[in-house]
Structure formats: structure tokens, C-alpha cells
Amino acid sequence: MSDPYETTEQHLERLLRRALNSFDLPDSTVERLGTALAHSSSLHSSHHSSVLHRETYRHTYLLSDGTPFTLWELVHSGPRSTRNPQPGTEPDLRHHELYDDEADIQVAAARLTGGFGEVPVFGDDGPHADLEILTVLMAAPPVPLPRMYAPDNSADHARRVLRRAENSDGPGEETARLLRAAFAHHITQVFGRQCRVDGRDAGFTLYEHAFLLLDGSETSLWEVEHTATPDGRHMCEVYGDEDAARGAMESRTRIC
């Protein structure tokens, strides 16, 4: 339901104006949103800790052709002070980012400090902690919920997932060609955890991108997001099966 005190045009203009990355949105996205007749906004998820405040909002628009379109907004800032602000001090800065794909906003959220998994960091550096990390990484995943496939430019989504992969042992051209026939997809976060690697914090998140093909068959890409790199940089790896993805996470922990 649209805000009665703000038109859809005003709402969209406000989102685009304050977003740091609005220029990254495809022209086709902005053009389609220009036909929006109504809008509805809701809080999708949130994370608050001593070092990070982060919220994800879902903005759904009804376009003139009768179809819905979703923009995902990431809002993040440092911790807010618990003390009374002093006169003349500036309020905490809040940064806004916009994405037209749910997978892209998940990646953006993961890049933020503490964004992987939203669970406590392992506190021990000894053998027991290493064993716990290994056990968690290799644990069997919970029974998945039924997939709800969404037909939403799924072939292009598959292309973007493969394009951002930095590992050389990922799916090849045959997989890319197969996924050109994808017409619906479903994204599931299978795993998320922060742990200690080489004496510093590193985050791991595993996503399954499941695709429904034109012939009725299904196939998946397994995406590993982590910061277990020498300089702590965020890295994306993509694999053709879950075992390979979990094996990559295990090797990144450098546990022998």
C-alpha cells in the first residue's frame, strides 16, 4: 500500500537521490520504474551489533503494464551512541544502496563488517576451535524448504553469478550454455558463519542458486562468499555442486 503522504513518483525520486550507487542501476530498470503507479515498502531484514547497524528494505512497485517490480535497499551505518548527543553534533551517517536483484543485495550486505551469518565469532584460536570450524563447515545442511521458483530474468541472473566468480575451477562453458535456458530461479542461503583464519576474523556464506530450465529439469550453482583472503578482501567463488563448494570453504580455513 502506498504512503498517503508521498506519491510513488516522490518516493522513487527520494530513493534514487540518496542512494550512493543509483548510477549503477540499468537504464532499463529506471525506465520501467518511471511507469510505476503505486508502491509498498517493508523491512526485509536487519542486523545490529556494536560495530554495525544494517537494514534491508523491499520496495515493490506496481507498473503501468500490471506487473510488479522490486527494488532492494541496503541501509547501513556505524553504531549509534548510547549517550545523549551534545548540542551541535552531527547525527550518525546512514548510507543507502539500491539493487534490482536480491542476490546482489545479499552480496553487498556480506561485504559489510560482520555481514556474514549474523552469528557470534568463534572466540578461541586453539585446536578445539579449529575442530569446531571444520565440523560446522562440513556438517550436513538442514532439510531444505520447498523451492518457490520465480520467473525473473533467470538466464541473466545465472550469467551474472558466473561472471562474478573468481575461482578458476568453477563451472565451464557447458554449464553457461545450459543455463541460457533457465526461466525461473530460487536463491537459498545454506550456510553463514564467521570464524578465525590465520588469527583474524573471516566470514563464509554459501548460497544455492537453483534454476528451473525450459525442459522442466533443475540445476544449481553454489556460490561461496568469503573474506578468507590474504588482505581480507571479499571474494566470490562459484561451483557446480555443493560438495565442491563446501570443500573450498574447508580449504580456505587452512585446517590440515
DSSP string, 114-133: T-STTSPPP---SHHHHHHH
Using CA atoms, how far apart are residues 150 and 69, in angstroms rounded to an integer?
12
Is 50 exceeded by the pLDDT of residue 91?
Answer: no
- Average pLDDT of the chain, as a whole number: 77
User: CA 165, 170, 173, 175: dihedral to nearest 10 degrees?
Assistant: -100
Residue 92 pLDDT level (bands cut at 50, 70, 90): very low
Per-residue pLDDT of 40-70, as tens digits, reads: 888 887 777 667 788 888 898 888 888 889 9
Percentage with pLDDT > 90 across the chain: 30
User: Which positions ≥6 away from 167 have C-beta within 8 Å?
Assistant: 237, 238, 239, 248
Tell me the pLDDT tens digit for each residue of 218-253.
Answer: 999 999 988 888 877 888 999 999 999 998 888 877
pLDDT per residue over 102-154, tens digit each?
888 888 887 775 444 443 333 334 444 444 444 544 454 444 556 678 778 89
Nearest-angstrom CA–CA distance, 225 and 235: 6
Please report, for residues 36, 104, 168, 224, the alpha-carbon distance to residue 107 in angstroms, rounded to integers and kept in the order given. Answer: 27, 5, 20, 10
pLDDT at 174 over 70: yes
Residues in the chain: 256
Q: Of 64, 73, 66, which Cα lies nearest the Cα of 31?
A: 64
Alpha-helical runs (H) found in 113-199: 127-138, 154-163, 173-178
Residue 189: band (very low, low, confident or very high) from pLDDT cuts 50, 70, 90: confident
